[in-house]
Amino acid sequence: MNKFNYILFSIAFFVACKSPSTNTEQKSDQTFADTVVVLNDTQYRNAGIQIVKPVQKLMHKTVTINGVVDVPPQSMVSVSMPLGGYLKSTHLLPGTSVHKGEVIALMEDQSYVQLQQDYLVAKAKLAYLETDLQRQKELSEQDATSKKAYQQTSSEYNVQLATLKAIAEKLKMININPEQLSTQNISKTVPILSPINGYVTKVNINIGRYVNPSDVIFELVNPNDIHAAMTVFEHDIDMFQKGISGKVFLTSDTSKKYDVEVILVTKNINDNRTGLLHCHFEQSNHQLLPGMFLTGVFNVTSHNAIVVPESAVVRYNGMEYVFVQQQKQTYVLVPVKTGISENGYVELMPNNNINWLNVQLAGGNAYALMGKLKNKMED
Protein backbone atom coordinates (compact mmCIF):
# COMPACT_ATOMS: atom_id res chain seq x y z
CA MET A 1 0.00 0.00 0.00
CA ASN A 2 1.55 3.32 -1.07
CA LYS A 3 1.66 6.31 1.24
CA PHE A 4 -1.33 8.06 -0.40
CA ASN A 5 -3.67 5.08 -0.10
CA TYR A 6 -2.51 4.48 3.47
CA ILE A 7 -3.44 8.02 4.47
CA LEU A 8 -6.88 7.76 2.82
CA PHE A 9 -7.51 4.53 4.69
CA SER A 10 -6.45 6.17 7.97
CA ILE A 11 -8.85 9.06 7.38
CA ALA A 12 -11.80 6.74 6.75
CA PHE A 13 -10.96 4.64 9.81
CA PHE A 14 -10.67 7.71 12.03
CA VAL A 15 -14.00 9.23 10.95
CA ALA A 16 -15.80 5.92 11.40
CA CYS A 17 -14.44 5.28 14.90
CA LYS A 18 -14.10 8.73 16.43
CA SER A 19 -16.36 9.51 19.40
CA PRO A 20 -17.83 13.01 19.94
CA SER A 21 -15.42 15.51 21.46
CA THR A 22 -15.56 19.11 22.56
CA ASN A 23 -12.21 19.70 20.90
CA THR A 24 -13.48 18.82 17.41
CA GLU A 25 -11.69 21.60 15.56
CA GLN A 26 -8.29 20.75 17.09
CA LYS A 27 -8.62 17.03 16.37
CA SER A 28 -9.77 17.68 12.81
CA ASP A 29 -6.69 19.79 12.17
CA GLN A 30 -4.44 17.04 13.55
CA THR A 31 -6.22 14.29 11.64
CA PHE A 32 -6.02 16.01 8.28
CA ALA A 33 -2.59 17.57 8.70
CA ASP A 34 -1.13 15.28 6.02
CA THR A 35 -4.10 15.70 3.67
CA VAL A 36 -3.96 19.44 3.26
CA VAL A 37 -3.58 20.86 -0.23
CA VAL A 38 -2.16 24.35 -0.53
CA LEU A 39 -2.21 26.06 -3.91
CA ASN A 40 -0.09 29.02 -4.92
CA ASP A 41 -1.64 31.79 -7.00
CA THR A 42 -0.70 30.24 -10.33
CA GLN A 43 -1.95 26.78 -9.37
CA TYR A 44 -5.18 28.27 -8.04
CA ARG A 45 -5.87 30.11 -11.29
CA ASN A 46 -5.07 27.07 -13.44
CA ALA A 47 -7.12 24.65 -11.32
CA GLY A 48 -10.38 26.55 -11.87
CA ILE A 49 -11.60 25.81 -8.35
CA GLN A 50 -15.02 27.15 -7.43
CA ILE A 51 -16.19 27.50 -3.84
CA VAL A 52 -19.57 25.98 -3.02
CA LYS A 53 -21.54 25.98 0.20
CA PRO A 54 -23.74 23.06 1.27
CA VAL A 55 -27.42 23.99 1.41
CA GLN A 56 -30.65 22.37 2.52
CA LYS A 57 -32.84 21.12 -0.31
CA LEU A 58 -35.87 18.88 -0.75
CA MET A 59 -34.57 15.68 -2.34
CA HIS A 60 -36.63 12.91 -3.86
CA LYS A 61 -35.91 9.23 -3.84
CA THR A 62 -36.37 7.91 -7.35
CA VAL A 63 -37.13 4.42 -8.62
CA THR A 64 -36.39 3.41 -12.20
CA ILE A 65 -38.67 0.75 -13.69
CA ASN A 66 -39.52 -0.68 -17.10
CA GLY A 67 -42.79 -1.20 -18.90
CA VAL A 68 -44.69 -0.95 -22.18
CA VAL A 69 -47.17 1.31 -23.92
CA ASP A 70 -50.57 -0.28 -23.44
CA VAL A 71 -54.23 0.45 -24.17
CA PRO A 72 -57.45 -0.77 -22.54
CA PRO A 73 -59.45 -3.27 -24.63
CA GLN A 74 -62.15 -0.71 -25.42
CA SER A 75 -59.60 1.57 -27.08
CA MET A 76 -58.09 -0.99 -29.46
CA VAL A 77 -60.13 -2.06 -32.47
CA SER A 78 -59.49 -4.98 -34.82
CA VAL A 79 -61.00 -4.33 -38.26
CA SER A 80 -62.16 -7.30 -40.32
CA MET A 81 -64.55 -8.05 -43.20
CA PRO A 82 -67.49 -10.12 -41.92
CA LEU A 83 -68.24 -11.64 -45.33
CA GLY A 84 -64.65 -12.02 -46.51
CA GLY A 85 -63.37 -10.79 -49.86
CA TYR A 86 -60.33 -9.49 -51.71
CA LEU A 87 -58.55 -6.32 -50.62
CA LYS A 88 -58.74 -4.00 -53.64
CA SER A 89 -57.04 -0.90 -52.22
CA THR A 90 -55.93 0.88 -49.05
CA HIS A 91 -53.74 3.86 -48.21
CA LEU A 92 -53.06 2.89 -44.61
CA LEU A 93 -49.66 2.44 -43.02
CA PRO A 94 -48.80 1.95 -39.34
CA GLY A 95 -49.07 5.37 -37.71
CA THR A 96 -51.61 6.75 -40.20
CA SER A 97 -54.26 8.93 -38.57
CA VAL A 98 -57.88 7.96 -39.26
CA HIS A 99 -61.27 9.49 -38.51
CA LYS A 100 -64.50 7.75 -37.63
CA GLY A 101 -66.49 6.98 -40.80
CA GLU A 102 -63.51 7.48 -43.13
CA VAL A 103 -63.05 4.98 -45.96
CA ILE A 104 -59.85 3.13 -45.09
CA ALA A 105 -60.02 0.31 -47.65
CA LEU A 106 -62.03 -1.10 -50.55
CA MET A 107 -63.01 -4.77 -50.75
CA GLU A 108 -64.14 -6.71 -53.81
CA ASP A 109 -65.97 -10.01 -54.16
CA GLN A 110 -68.76 -11.59 -56.22
CA SER A 111 -70.58 -12.50 -53.02
CA TYR A 112 -71.30 -8.79 -52.51
CA VAL A 113 -73.06 -8.70 -55.89
CA GLN A 114 -75.07 -11.80 -55.02
CA LEU A 115 -76.11 -10.31 -51.68
CA GLN A 116 -77.30 -7.11 -53.32
CA GLN A 117 -79.21 -9.13 -55.90
CA ASP A 118 -80.82 -11.23 -53.17
CA TYR A 119 -81.92 -8.07 -51.39
CA LEU A 120 -83.50 -6.49 -54.45
CA VAL A 121 -85.26 -9.74 -55.40
CA ALA A 122 -86.54 -10.15 -51.85
CA LYS A 123 -87.68 -6.54 -51.82
CA ALA A 124 -89.60 -6.97 -55.08
CA LYS A 125 -91.20 -10.19 -53.87
CA LEU A 126 -92.19 -8.50 -50.61
CA ALA A 127 -93.85 -5.69 -52.55
CA TYR A 128 -95.84 -8.26 -54.55
CA LEU A 129 -96.83 -10.15 -51.39
CA GLU A 130 -97.85 -6.90 -49.71
CA THR A 131 -100.21 -6.14 -52.58
CA ASP A 132 -101.52 -9.70 -52.63
CA LEU A 133 -102.01 -9.65 -48.87
CA GLN A 134 -104.08 -6.50 -49.11
CA ARG A 135 -106.18 -8.07 -51.87
CA GLN A 136 -106.68 -11.28 -49.90
CA LYS A 137 -107.69 -9.24 -46.87
CA GLU A 138 -110.37 -7.39 -48.81
CA LEU A 139 -111.69 -10.62 -50.32
CA SER A 140 -111.73 -12.29 -46.93
CA GLU A 141 -113.75 -9.44 -45.46
CA GLN A 142 -116.26 -9.89 -48.28
CA ASP A 143 -116.25 -13.66 -47.83
CA ALA A 144 -115.09 -13.89 -51.42
CA THR A 145 -112.15 -16.11 -50.47
CA SER A 146 -111.33 -18.51 -47.72
CA LYS A 147 -109.61 -17.38 -44.57
CA LYS A 148 -107.05 -20.10 -45.18
CA ALA A 149 -105.88 -18.41 -48.38
CA TYR A 150 -105.58 -15.10 -46.54
CA GLN A 151 -103.61 -16.70 -43.71
CA GLN A 152 -101.28 -18.43 -46.17
CA THR A 153 -100.56 -15.15 -47.97
CA SER A 154 -100.02 -13.42 -44.62
CA SER A 155 -97.55 -16.12 -43.59
CA GLU A 156 -95.64 -15.81 -46.87
CA TYR A 157 -95.52 -12.05 -46.42
CA ASN A 158 -94.07 -12.28 -42.90
CA VAL A 159 -91.46 -14.84 -44.00
CA GLN A 160 -90.43 -12.60 -46.87
CA LEU A 161 -90.30 -9.56 -44.58
CA ALA A 162 -87.96 -11.42 -42.22
CA THR A 163 -85.81 -12.49 -45.17
CA LEU A 164 -85.57 -8.92 -46.42
CA LYS A 165 -84.60 -7.54 -43.01
CA ALA A 166 -81.96 -10.23 -42.54
CA ILE A 167 -80.39 -9.46 -45.92
CA ALA A 168 -80.54 -5.74 -45.11
CA GLU A 169 -78.53 -6.32 -41.93
CA LYS A 170 -75.93 -8.28 -43.90
CA LEU A 171 -75.64 -5.36 -46.30
CA LYS A 172 -75.07 -2.99 -43.40
CA MET A 173 -72.26 -5.24 -42.18
CA ILE A 174 -70.40 -4.51 -45.43
CA ASN A 175 -71.30 -0.81 -45.32
CA ILE A 176 -74.00 -0.84 -47.99
CA ASN A 177 -77.10 1.20 -47.19
CA PRO A 178 -80.05 -1.00 -48.20
CA GLU A 179 -82.38 2.01 -48.40
CA GLN A 180 -80.24 3.49 -51.16
CA LEU A 181 -79.68 0.25 -53.08
CA SER A 182 -81.25 -0.12 -56.50
CA THR A 183 -80.65 -2.01 -59.70
CA GLN A 184 -78.71 1.02 -60.93
CA ASN A 185 -75.98 0.97 -58.27
CA ILE A 186 -75.17 -2.68 -57.66
CA SER A 187 -71.41 -2.87 -57.09
CA LYS A 188 -68.81 -5.58 -56.62
CA THR A 189 -66.77 -3.17 -54.49
CA VAL A 190 -67.62 -2.16 -50.92
CA PRO A 191 -65.85 0.18 -48.46
CA ILE A 192 -64.39 -0.52 -45.05
CA LEU A 193 -65.01 2.43 -42.72
CA SER A 194 -62.97 3.41 -39.68
CA PRO A 195 -65.02 2.74 -36.53
CA ILE A 196 -63.05 5.23 -34.37
CA ASN A 197 -60.93 8.35 -34.37
CA GLY A 198 -57.35 7.24 -33.87
CA TYR A 199 -54.44 5.84 -35.77
CA VAL A 200 -53.27 2.59 -37.32
CA THR A 201 -51.03 0.25 -35.34
CA LYS A 202 -50.97 -2.74 -37.72
CA VAL A 203 -51.68 -3.49 -41.38
CA ASN A 204 -51.86 -7.26 -41.70
CA ILE A 205 -52.59 -7.91 -45.38
CA ASN A 206 -51.60 -6.69 -48.83
CA ILE A 207 -53.64 -5.64 -51.85
CA GLY A 208 -55.04 -8.56 -53.84
CA ARG A 209 -55.05 -10.98 -50.95
CA TYR A 210 -58.22 -12.82 -49.97
CA VAL A 211 -59.49 -12.03 -46.49
CA ASN A 212 -61.43 -14.57 -44.48
CA PRO A 213 -64.21 -13.31 -42.19
CA SER A 214 -62.05 -14.10 -39.14
CA ASP A 215 -58.92 -12.33 -40.45
CA VAL A 216 -57.88 -9.04 -38.84
CA ILE A 217 -57.09 -6.59 -41.64
CA PHE A 218 -56.13 -3.55 -39.56
CA GLU A 219 -55.63 -2.72 -35.91
CA LEU A 220 -56.57 0.78 -34.77
CA VAL A 221 -56.10 2.50 -31.45
CA ASN A 222 -57.58 5.55 -29.76
CA PRO A 223 -54.51 7.58 -28.68
CA ASN A 224 -56.45 9.39 -25.98
CA ASP A 225 -56.59 6.19 -23.93
CA ILE A 226 -53.05 4.84 -24.24
CA HIS A 227 -51.25 4.45 -20.94
CA ALA A 228 -47.96 3.22 -19.58
CA ALA A 229 -48.07 -0.21 -17.94
CA MET A 230 -44.96 -0.29 -15.75
CA THR A 231 -43.57 -3.38 -14.01
CA VAL A 232 -42.63 -2.95 -10.33
CA PHE A 233 -40.77 -5.45 -8.19
CA GLU A 234 -42.50 -6.77 -5.10
CA HIS A 235 -40.21 -5.00 -2.64
CA ASP A 236 -40.84 -1.60 -4.31
CA ILE A 237 -44.56 -1.70 -4.97
CA ASP A 238 -45.58 -0.34 -1.54
CA MET A 239 -43.69 2.88 -2.32
CA PHE A 240 -46.12 3.68 -5.15
CA GLN A 241 -49.56 5.14 -4.79
CA LYS A 242 -52.17 6.83 -6.94
CA GLY A 243 -51.18 10.36 -7.92
CA ILE A 244 -47.39 9.90 -7.94
CA SER A 245 -45.84 11.61 -10.95
CA GLY A 246 -42.95 10.48 -13.07
CA LYS A 247 -41.32 10.65 -16.46
CA VAL A 248 -41.11 7.85 -19.00
CA PHE A 249 -39.22 7.54 -22.26
CA LEU A 250 -38.79 4.99 -24.99
CA THR A 251 -36.08 2.53 -23.99
CA SER A 252 -34.67 2.89 -27.50
CA ASP A 253 -34.75 6.71 -27.45
CA THR A 254 -33.99 8.62 -24.25
CA SER A 255 -34.08 12.05 -25.90
CA LYS A 256 -37.80 12.69 -25.38
CA LYS A 257 -39.49 12.26 -22.01
CA TYR A 258 -43.21 12.09 -21.30
CA ASP A 259 -44.94 13.18 -18.09
CA VAL A 260 -47.16 10.52 -16.51
CA GLU A 261 -49.25 10.10 -13.38
CA VAL A 262 -49.99 6.84 -11.59
CA ILE A 263 -53.73 6.12 -11.81
CA LEU A 264 -53.77 2.54 -10.53
CA VAL A 265 -51.44 0.30 -8.54
CA THR A 266 -52.27 -3.39 -8.86
CA LYS A 267 -51.70 -5.33 -5.69
CA ASN A 268 -51.63 -8.71 -7.41
CA ILE A 269 -48.11 -10.10 -7.51
CA ASN A 270 -47.44 -12.54 -10.35
CA ASP A 271 -45.10 -15.54 -10.46
CA ASN A 272 -42.18 -13.23 -11.29
CA ARG A 273 -42.79 -11.36 -8.01
CA THR A 274 -43.79 -8.19 -9.83
CA GLY A 275 -46.88 -6.02 -10.05
CA LEU A 276 -48.15 -3.38 -12.48
CA LEU A 277 -48.52 0.38 -12.37
CA HIS A 278 -51.02 1.92 -14.77
CA CYS A 279 -49.96 5.46 -15.63
CA HIS A 280 -51.84 8.15 -17.53
CA PHE A 281 -49.99 10.30 -20.05
CA GLU A 282 -50.47 14.00 -19.32
CA GLN A 283 -50.66 14.71 -23.07
CA SER A 284 -51.67 12.66 -26.11
CA ASN A 285 -48.67 11.27 -27.95
CA HIS A 286 -49.33 9.82 -31.39
CA GLN A 287 -45.70 8.72 -31.66
CA LEU A 288 -46.24 6.09 -28.98
CA LEU A 289 -47.59 2.77 -30.21
CA PRO A 290 -48.89 -0.13 -28.10
CA GLY A 291 -46.13 -2.59 -27.27
CA MET A 292 -43.28 -0.09 -27.33
CA PHE A 293 -40.84 -0.60 -24.46
CA LEU A 294 -40.61 2.16 -21.86
CA THR A 295 -38.29 3.13 -19.04
CA GLY A 296 -39.70 5.30 -16.26
CA VAL A 297 -38.29 7.33 -13.37
CA PHE A 298 -40.64 8.05 -10.46
CA ASN A 299 -40.25 10.20 -7.34
CA VAL A 300 -41.54 7.95 -4.58
CA THR A 301 -40.39 9.70 -1.36
CA SER A 302 -38.93 13.09 -0.42
CA HIS A 303 -37.06 14.63 2.52
CA ASN A 304 -34.98 17.68 3.39
CA ALA A 305 -31.27 17.03 3.00
CA ILE A 306 -27.97 18.88 3.01
CA VAL A 307 -26.68 18.82 -0.54
CA VAL A 308 -23.79 20.03 -2.67
CA PRO A 309 -23.23 20.07 -6.42
CA GLU A 310 -22.04 16.68 -7.65
CA SER A 311 -18.83 18.32 -8.88
CA ALA A 312 -17.79 18.85 -5.24
CA VAL A 313 -17.67 15.10 -4.51
CA VAL A 314 -14.52 13.25 -5.55
CA ARG A 315 -14.57 9.48 -5.96
CA TYR A 316 -11.37 7.48 -5.54
CA ASN A 317 -10.78 3.76 -4.93
CA GLY A 318 -14.45 3.13 -4.15
CA MET A 319 -14.69 5.93 -1.58
CA GLU A 320 -16.07 9.46 -1.71
CA TYR A 321 -14.45 12.68 -0.49
CA VAL A 322 -14.89 16.44 -0.39
CA PHE A 323 -12.28 19.15 0.02
CA VAL A 324 -13.15 21.52 2.88
CA GLN A 325 -11.70 25.00 2.51
CA GLN A 326 -9.67 25.95 5.63
CA GLN A 327 -8.66 29.29 4.22
CA LYS A 328 -8.19 30.75 0.76
CA GLN A 329 -6.26 28.32 -1.46
CA THR A 330 -5.97 25.77 1.38
CA TYR A 331 -8.15 22.65 1.36
CA VAL A 332 -8.51 19.57 3.56
CA LEU A 333 -9.56 16.15 2.26
CA VAL A 334 -12.58 14.74 4.16
CA PRO A 335 -14.23 11.35 3.49
CA VAL A 336 -18.01 11.47 3.17
CA LYS A 337 -21.02 9.25 2.71
CA THR A 338 -23.54 10.39 0.13
CA GLY A 339 -27.24 9.74 -0.26
CA ILE A 340 -29.69 10.65 -3.01
CA SER A 341 -28.51 12.30 -6.22
CA GLU A 342 -30.96 14.48 -8.12
CA ASN A 343 -30.70 17.21 -10.76
CA GLY A 344 -26.97 17.73 -10.34
CA TYR A 345 -26.98 17.71 -6.53
CA VAL A 346 -25.92 14.97 -4.13
CA GLU A 347 -26.89 14.51 -0.49
CA LEU A 348 -24.19 14.60 2.19
CA MET A 349 -25.00 12.25 5.05
CA PRO A 350 -24.57 13.62 8.61
CA ASN A 351 -21.03 13.72 10.03
CA ASN A 352 -20.49 13.95 13.80
CA ASN A 353 -17.34 15.98 13.29
CA ILE A 354 -18.55 18.54 10.78
CA ASN A 355 -21.58 20.78 10.49
CA TRP A 356 -21.90 20.86 6.72
CA LEU A 357 -23.85 24.11 6.75
CA ASN A 358 -20.91 25.91 8.38
CA VAL A 359 -18.19 24.97 5.87
CA GLN A 360 -17.27 25.77 2.31
CA LEU A 361 -16.15 23.16 -0.18
CA ALA A 362 -14.12 23.09 -3.35
CA GLY A 363 -16.30 22.54 -6.38
CA GLY A 364 -15.99 22.78 -10.13
CA ASN A 365 -12.66 21.00 -10.51
CA ALA A 366 -12.17 19.26 -7.18
CA TYR A 367 -10.43 16.38 -8.93
CA ALA A 368 -7.50 18.73 -9.57
CA LEU A 369 -6.99 18.90 -5.81
CA MET A 370 -7.08 15.11 -5.56
CA GLY A 371 -4.43 14.90 -8.25
CA LYS A 372 -2.32 17.50 -6.44
CA LEU A 373 -2.67 15.60 -3.16
CA LYS A 374 -1.79 12.29 -4.76
CA ASN A 375 1.34 13.76 -6.31
CA LYS A 376 2.28 15.24 -2.94
CA MET A 377 1.89 11.93 -1.12
CA GLU A 378 3.84 9.98 -3.73
CA ASP A 379 6.82 12.38 -3.67
Taking residues 141-149, report their average pLDDT: 69
Q: Does pLDDT of 272 surpass 90?
A: no
- Do 12 and 118 fall into the same domain? no
In terms of Cα–Cα distance, which of 70, 65, 67 is closest to 235?
A: 65
b/e map 318-351, b = 16+ CB within 10 Å: eebbbbbbbeeeebbbbbbebbbebeebbbbeee
Q: What percentage of residues in the chain have a pLDDT greater than 90?
A: 50
Task: Give the highest mean pLDDT range of 47-51, 216-220, 362-366, 369-373.
Answer: 216-220
* Mean pLDDT taken over the chain: 85
Residue 141 or residue 72, greater confidence: 72
- Do 9 and 86 fall into the same domain? no
Contacts (Cβ under 8 Å, ≥6 apart) of 133: 150, 153, 154, 157
231-244 confidence digits (pLDDT tens)? 998 888 888 889 88
Model pLDDT, residue 16? 40
Model pLDDT, residue 59? 87
20-74 confidence digits (pLDDT tens)? 333 334 333 333 346 888 888 888 888 888 899 999 998 888 889 999 999 888 8
Residue 117 or residue 376, greater confidence: 117
Model pLDDT, residue 7? 42
Q: Provide the domain limits for residue 24.
A: 3-62+303-378
In terms of Cα–Cα distance, which of 325, 340, 336, 239 is closest to 39?
A: 325
Which residue, of 191, 220, 249, is where some domain finishes?
Answer: 220
CATH number of the domain within which 288 lies = 2.40.30.170
Residue 321 or residue 19, greater confidence: 321
Taking residues 204-210, report their average pLDDT: 95
Q: Does pLDDT of 176 surpass 90?
A: yes
Taking residues 143-172, report their average pLDDT: 87
Contacts (Cβ under 8 Å, ≥6 apart) of 112: 83, 85, 174, 176, 187, 188, 189, 190
- Do 311 and 290 fall into the same domain? no
CATH number of the domain within which 372 lies = 2.40.420.20
277-317 confidence digits (pLDDT tens)? 999 998 877 678 888 999 999 988 778 999 999 999 999 88
- Do 26 and 111 fall into the same domain? no
Model pLDDT, residue 22? 34
- Do 99 and 128 fall into the same domain? yes
Q: Which of 5-14, 246-255, 306-315 has the lowest mean pLDDT?
A: 5-14
Residue 268 or residue 345, greater confidence: 345
Q: Does pLDDT of 175 surpass 50?
A: yes
Q: Does pLDDT of 183 surpass 70?
A: yes
- Do 143 and 228 fall into the same domain? no
- Do 214 and 105 fall into the same domain? yes
* Single pTM value for the model: 0.56
- Do 141 and 215 fall into the same domain? yes
Model pLDDT, residue 24? 37
- Do 208 and 272 fall into the same domain? no
- Do 55 and 116 fall into the same domain? no
